[in-house]
Amino acid sequence: MDFFEAAEGPEPQFTSGINFEEELNEEQYAAVTAPFGPSLVLAGAGSGKTRTLTYRVAWLLDQGVDPSAILLLTFTNKAAREMLDRVADLTGVSSKLFWGGTFHHIGQRLLRRFGGPVGVNPGFNILDQSDSESLLSDVIRRVDPKFLKDKNNPKPKVIANLISYARNTLEDVGVMARERYPYPANLGPDIGRFAAAYEKEKRKQDVADYDDLLELWLKLLKTDPSFLHYCTQKFDQVLVDEYQDTNRLQAAIVDTIGSHHRVMAVGDDSQCIYTWRGAELNNIMTFPDRHPGGNIFKIETNYRSTPQILSFANSVLDGHTGGGFRKELRAVRPDGNKPILVSTVDTTQQAEFVIRTISQMVDNGRSYGDIVILYRAHFQAMDLQMELSRTGIPFQITSGVRFFEQAHVKDIVAQIRFVANPRDITAFLRFAGLLPKVGPRTAEKLYAFIVDFAEKNQQNFFDVLGAKAVVAKVPAPARDDWESLATTLRDCYHAAHDESPDEVVRLAVEGWYGTYLRTLYPNWKSREEDLTGVVGFASRFEELSELLAQLILLNSEASDRSIEPGEETIRLTTIHQSKGLEFPVVFILGLADGMFPLNRAVEEGNLDEETRLFYVSVTRAQDELFLSYPMVQSQGGPPRRLQPSRFLSSVRPDYYEAVRYRSSW
């Protein structure tokens, strides 16, 4: 008997009363009423993906599928709740009857009931990120007491990130460590030993981290035939949202549970923008091969944007060479304005253009809440944040804190403050406290000793930082770091008297803190880019005192302006954080080669993903789209000429209006 035919047998036990054909467009209707079996639904931006999934669940109920036999996998619990609440509103069936939630949520539910064969008990505790890093740190110290004492080795946070990435991509952790963290080389065997000991310790303590909730779920499916039988019989219909964002581990779970091929995967390969954290584009591209005999549905009718914005967006993908399923978004909205591409002299004038345009819009009735400003990396919005603070325009950053309030930026600024004024003990305490085993009291005592030692020997404070007597007062685990820090501070101090402010900042960025950054933060590359932006900012000043005064004023202005509850604000965010959202007015900053796409992405061969990022940014816009780029870049070195982003080469010139901004301020 054919498996799919058998599934169509039961008479409907529930009738929703929904006229699916009337309430859905033709493309949505075809996907919603697809026969039982594998289906890949390619839902373009703004095409009603959530509506399609919601009505698919309602249709399954109409076909007699029991609510508890429907498994809905999403990437946030909020998305699952909203979707199932909509189903409840449509059908009257309680959302509690369905199995819906994130992969991790479903995994922990199943492991608590069936996890014995893979070494977990029903009452196991789940470690949050901080707890798991702490446990890993203890394991590393036990396996190799000297490892974390070497200042060149990565800290537990970075190692945890490497191990997690390997687990989610089903790769060997040693190989992954070599590829993703080449500083220092040959760390693979060490990371592999730490990972194995960490797994053993978790089972001993009967705890699980987030990755265990998926990894052990898959292991249970692969090693326990009774559990596999339960899942394949229990979950008659498997629906997966945002399928383009699944990693290999998640896809393996779906493929195993969905071995009956009653799987509907919904996503958009053109919006796959998280490969850097493990998302696997091939999951969606090879879905038809892994689940043969199914259907591919394209939902291309867009309800979000004007025809002019969609023509631009479609044209972006025309030049995309990374393959994928061809889609052509079609508008239902009336005509609007063409996207506008604005060239400015530099990032300062770019900020002026944005603020002036926003002010004109607000004068004409627009709300601040209608407007979002997108950028590829945090440092690209630095000038705009400063100008918004100065002008008092309300804004919020939804991709992190304000630029100069970021921890790594404040760490560098503290060093520059201290170089300019060695009596600034607050600055000293900030960066000295970054060293191992150096707390506030230890740092205060160390500072007092150095001051006294320098006076007794009639030497400059910075020239005695590396003296044997000083080093002896530094806790042993911090001495290697201290010697590097001392050299950096001394170099910065002497440069402050002979060189420009940007040279002082460059020495600080490339000195001790550059190594520290790599060992502490998994995303150290993007943080390095931020600090390179600070070097460029410093190049605008002739005196170090002017630079520091400006930094203090900026922080003061930013702190003084608080957002009132319910107040309309402009939103500033990275493109990654904007995915899934929509705004009447969208500004995209820094559309120049080297900024978007980032130089780093070009060097690492990630242009395909950068193209998809550009597509995502453009398709956030509903009514108006402004793209801007500076013609001169001064961040991180001498000024250099910039060219418009290579992404624009695939867009027909008649799809946008190009203008040169001329300052009126």
Annotated binding-site ranges? 43-50
628 forms beta bridges with: 342
DSSP states along 456-498: HTT--TGGGTT-HHHHHHS-GGGHHHHHHHHHHHHHHHHHHHH
Tokens 């959202």 locate to: 581
What is the token pair recorded at 496? 């402050």
Contacts of 89 (CB under 8 A, 6+ apart): none
Query: Could you give the 3-state DSSP secondary structure of residue 509?
Result: helix
Contact 553, 192 (CB under 8 A): no
Cα 214 from Cα 487, distance rounded (Å): 46
Question: Helices (DSSP H) in 298-438: which residue ranges?
Answer: 307-318, 347-363, 382-391, 407-420, 425-432
Contacts of 529 (CB under 8 A, 6+ apart): 377, 378, 379, 598, 600
N-to-C CA span, the chain: 77
What b/e sequence results for 221-242 when a residue is b if at least 16 CB atoms lie within 10 Å of its CB, and e otherwise? Answer: beebeebbeebbeebbbbbbbb
Task: Give kind and range of the element (H or E) at residue 263.
Answer: strand 263-267
What is the token pair recorded at 470? 């000083």
Query: Could you give the 3-state DSSP secondary structure of residue 648?
Result: helix
Binding residues for ATP, as ranges, are: 43-50
Helix then strand count (H, E) for the chain reads 30, 19
Q: Helix crossing, 524-538 with 501-510: angle to 10°?
A: 160
Cα 251 from Cα 229, distance rounded (Å): 18
Residue 121 has a CB neighbour count (10 Å cut-off) of: 10
Cα 449 from Cα 91, distance rounded (Å): 74
